[in-house]
Amino acid sequence: MGSPNNKPARIFSLHHHTSLPCTRAHQIGALLLIATTFFLTRLFDQSFSTCPPSSLNHDHSSPNVVHVSDGGSLSWPQRGYGSHLSLKIYVYEEDEIDGLKELLRGRDGKISADACLKGQWGTQVKIHRLLLESRLRTRKKEEADLFFVPAYVKCVRMMGGLNDKEINHTYVKVLSQMPYFRRSGGRDHIFVFPSGAGAHLFRSWATYINRSIILTPEADRTDKKDTSAFNTWKDIIIPGNVEDGMTKRGVAKVQPLPLSKRKYLANYLGRAQGKVGRLKLIELAKQFPDKNMFYVSARMVMAGTVMLLEEEEGLYECLWAVSANLICILNSVTSFHEMMIAECVPVILSDQAEFPFQNVIDYTQISIKWPSTRIGLELLEYLESIPDENIEQMLAAGRQVRCLWVYAPEIESCSAMQGIMWELQRKVRQFHQSAETFWLHNRTIVDRHLVEFSSWDPPMPLP
Tell whether the model's pLDDT for residue 278 goes beyond 70.
yes
Q: Does one domain contain both 256 and 402?
A: yes
The type of residue at 66 is: V
Q: Does one domain contain both 204 and 324?
A: no
Q: Does one domain contain both 158 and 195?
A: yes
CA distances from 264 to 177, 331, 368, 377 (A): 55, 19, 17, 16
Q: Are 444 and 194 in contact (CB under 8 A)?
A: no
Q: Does one domain contain both 236 and 385?
A: no
- Residue 52 confidence (pLDDT): 33
pLDDT tens sequence across 338-389: 777 777 788 888 888 888 999 899 999 998 888 888 888 888 888 888 888 8
In this predicted structure, which of 69-83, 298-312, 330-344 has the lowest mean pLDDT? 298-312
- Residue 234 confidence (pLDDT): 94
Q: Does one domain contain both 286 and 380?
A: yes
Best-predicted range by mean pLDDT (65-79, 153-167, 324-338, 364-378): 153-167
pLDDT tens sequence across 241-268: 877 766 655 445 556 677 777 766 776 6
Q: Which helix (H) or strand (E) holds 268?
A: strand 264-269
Q: Higher confidence at residue 323 or residue 286?
A: 286
pLDDT tens sequence across 141-152: 999 999 999 999
Q: Residue 49: inside a domain, yes or no?
A: no
Tell whether the model's pLDDT for residue 310 goes beyond 50.
no
DSSP single-letter state for residue 269: E
Average pLDDT for 307-329: 38
Q: Residue 222: inside a domain, yes or no?
A: yes
pLDDT tens sequence across 30-58: 555 555 555 554 544 444 333 333 333 33
Q: Does one domain contain both 184 and 197?
A: yes
CA distances from 214 to 26, 207, 412, 423 (A): 66, 14, 24, 12
Structural domains in the chain (count): 2
Q: Does one domain contain both 273 and 319?
A: yes
Q: Residue 339: inside a domain, yes or no?
A: yes
- Residue 224 confidence (pLDDT): 57
Residue 436 makes CB contacts below 8 A (sequence gap 6+) with 182, 185, 447, 448, 461, 463
Contacts of 313-319 spanning 24+ positions with Cβ under 8 A? 313/158, 314/271, 314/273, 315/119, 315/120, 315/121, 315/158, 315/195, 316/119, 316/269, 317/118, 317/119, 317/243, 317/246, 318/269, 319/246, 319/253, 319/254
> Which residues are 365's β-sheet partners?
none
The type of residue at 289 is: P
Tell whether the model's pLDDT for residue 188 goes beyond 60.
yes
Instruction: Quote the CA–CA distance of 68 and 456 in Å, as a whole number.
Output: 47
Q: Does one domain contain both 321 and 211?
A: no
Instruction: Quote the CA–CA distance of 122 and 421 in Å, as a whole number.
Output: 18
Q: Does one domain contain both 280 and 315?
A: yes
Q: Does one domain contain both 256 and 276?
A: yes
Instruction: Quote the CA–CA distance of 326 and 247 in Å, as a whole number.
Output: 20
Q: Where are the alpha helices (DSSP H) in 298-453?
A: 336-342, 377-385, 388-401, 416-427
Rounded to a whole number, what is the largest CA-CA distance in the chain?
96
Burial class (CB in 10 A: 0-12, 13-18, 19+), 161: buried
Q: Does one domain contain both 206 and 249?
A: no
Q: Residue 375: inside a domain, yes or no?
A: yes
Q: Are 375 and 350 in contact (CB under 8 A)?
A: no
Instruction: Quote the CA–CA distance of 69 and 8 in Å, as a whole number.
Output: 58
Q: Residue 19: inside a domain, yes or no?
A: no
150: nearest Cα among 70, 74, 87, 90? 90
- Residue 127 confidence (pLDDT): 97
Average pLDDT for 382-409: 88
Q: Are 339 and 239 in contact (CB under 8 A)?
A: no
Instruction: Quote the CA–CA distance of 125 and 117 in Å, as a whole number.
Output: 6
Average pLDDT for 181-195: 94
Q: Are 370 and 347 in contact (CB under 8 A)?
A: yes
pLDDT tens sequence across 80-127: 888 889 999 999 999 999 999 999 999 999 999 999 987 778 999 999
Q: Does one domain contain both 235 and 257?
A: no
Q: Which domain holds residue 206?
A: 89-241+426-433
Residue 23 makes CB contacts below 8 A (sequence gap 6+) with none
DSSP single-letter state for residue 190: E
Q: Residue 2: inside a domain, yes or no?
A: no
**CATH code where residue 370 lies:** 3.40.50
Instruction: Quote the CA–CA distance of 463 and 40 in Å, as a whole number.
Output: 58
Q: Residue 439: inside a domain, yes or no?
A: no
354: nearest Cα among 334, 379, 325, 375? 334
5 pLDDT tier (thresholds 50, 70, 90): very low
* CB crowding 294-318: b at 16 or more within 10 Å, else e: bbbebeeeeeeeebbbebeeebbbb
316 pLDDT tier (thresholds 50, 70, 90): very low
DSSP single-letter state for residue 142: G
254: nearest Cα among 419, 405, 71? 405
